[in-house]
Amino acid sequence: MDALSAESKGVVLTERQRIAWLRLIRSDNIGPATFRDLINHFGSAEAALAALPELSARGGATRAIRIASEAEAHRELEAARRFGARFVGIGEPDYPQALKQIDGAPPLLAVKGALAAAKRPAVGIVGSRNASIAGAKFAAMVARDCGRAGHTVVSGLARGIDTAAHRASLDTGTIAALAGGLDQPYPPENIGLLEEITSGNGLAVSEMPFGWEPRARDFPRRNRLIAGIGLGLVVIEAATRSGSLITARLAGEFGRLVFAVPGSPLDPRCHGTNGLLKDGASIVTAPADVVEALAPLAQFDLFPSSMVEEPAPDGKAMSVPPGDSDRNRIIDALGPTPVEIDDVIRHTGLSASAVYLILLELDISGRLHRHQGGLVSLSD
């Protein structure tokens, strides 16, 4: 199937479901992976919300879990409407199809702008904030040619390379992934650029609440959106320790193509990109290198849509909750070192349903830490 002409498929959430989803993801200790497991276990966000207090208590929480209220959800939905934005769920047609396949994909995205930008095959372009003139010029060349080839360009609205990539793809379509709420763009000098993006052929996306000011730890979360939305990622000028390398690592983990532009060994801005090339990234010396590598991927529907947004329970649900002895067995088996859930099942000899439910209890009570790749450990 030609991805450029394929109709997006999915199931649209009802208003009641959207409110329940928003309440669940905005409640304490509920991240994307926990959200997914709760929906899979209980069958709906409403049922999961009703179960949270008991799950948290059984997991050993020392205080009652804060559950987002209907009033809070309505206020955020209204804030989105006033801002000209809306929330898109992971099973809906307008959700970026590649993003939904990654580990820990956001259940809900706040979006503003041209939704068509999220339906085309995309490529991420990231790099140094203090980019050189040559680096910014090359980023614009890559973005412009990728746009002409039918790709949406994804970046993070940062200074330097991000800005150059967004500006060069305003006409063909670009997506700005934000670390804060849609109404809290960073940096301030790119507010005008963001308005150009959302008022034209582009789109702004964020998983954070409206009013949320971005903090340093929010940017790696933003980076995973860039890595997940695109079929590939181009890195242009990145220092040894930079957010661009985090994005590149995530892109590799998600199975995306990773490209790097070589630079002078004497320029610290190129140490990270040169390192990516040593580690096996595809070298880019002309925009055609990216366009030609992405062309075969864009011809097929690599990320088929799921037609289910709130599946029936998957068999992990239990009529009788696990006992304290089972719970203690899992707690004793876990530690600060991340382990696979399958190993927990084998080590403890408990049923998969019991292990998954106890891990949910520990997670919601704040005692479990989830890692990339589905690994878990006990929180410090």
Stretch 110-138: mean pLDDT: 97
User: Residue 329 above 50 pLDDT?
Assistant: yes
> For the structural domain made of 98-299, what CATH number should be given?
3.40.50.450
Q: CB under 8 Å to 323, separation ≥6 — which residues?
A: none
CA–centroid distance for 155 within its chain: 13
Q: CB under 8 Å to 324, separation ≥6 — which residues?
A: none
- Please name which of 34, 102, 27, 53 lies closest in space to residue 370, comparing C-alpha atoms: 34
Stretch 5-17: mean pLDDT: 75
* DSSP output for 36-102: HHHHHHHSSHHHHHHHHHHHHHHTT-SSPPP---HHHHHHHHHHHHHHT-EEEETTSTTS-TTGGGS
User: Residue 309 above 60 pLDDT?
Assistant: no
Percent of the chain residues past pLDDT 90, beyond the cut: 86
pLDDT at 6: 39
pLDDT at 300: 61
pLDDT at 373: 80
- Please name which of 347, 139, 100, 348 lies closest in space to residue 225, comparing C-alpha atoms: 100
Q: Exposure of 294 by Cβ count < 10 A (0-12 exposed, 13-18 middle, 19+ buried)?
A: buried
Q: How far apart are CA 305 and CA 296, in angstroms?
A: 20
Strand duo 152-155 + 339-340: pairing: unpaired
> For the structural domain made of 324-378, what CATH number should be given?
1.10.10.10
- Where in the chain are the domains? 15-94, 98-299, 324-378
Q: What confidence category does residue 209 fall into, taking pLDDT thresholds of 50, 70 and 90?
A: very high
pLDDT at 307: 40
CA atoms within 13 A on the CB side of 74: 4
pLDDT at 374: 82
User: Residue 304 above 80 pLDDT?
Assistant: no
Q: What confidence category does residue 310 fall into, taking pLDDT thresholds of 50, 70 and 90?
A: low
User: Residue 71 above 80 pLDDT?
Assistant: yes
Stretch 117-127: mean pLDDT: 97
pLDDT at 371: 87
**Per-residue pLDDT reduced to its tens digit, 225-275:** 999 999 999 999 999 999 999 999 999 999 999 999 999 999 999 999 999
Rounded to the nearest integer, the mean pLDDT of the chain is: 92
**Per-residue pLDDT reduced to its tens digit, 45-56:** 999 999 999 999
**Per-residue pLDDT reduced to its tens digit, 186-208:** 999 999 999 999 999 999 999 99
Stretch 324-343: mean pLDDT: 93
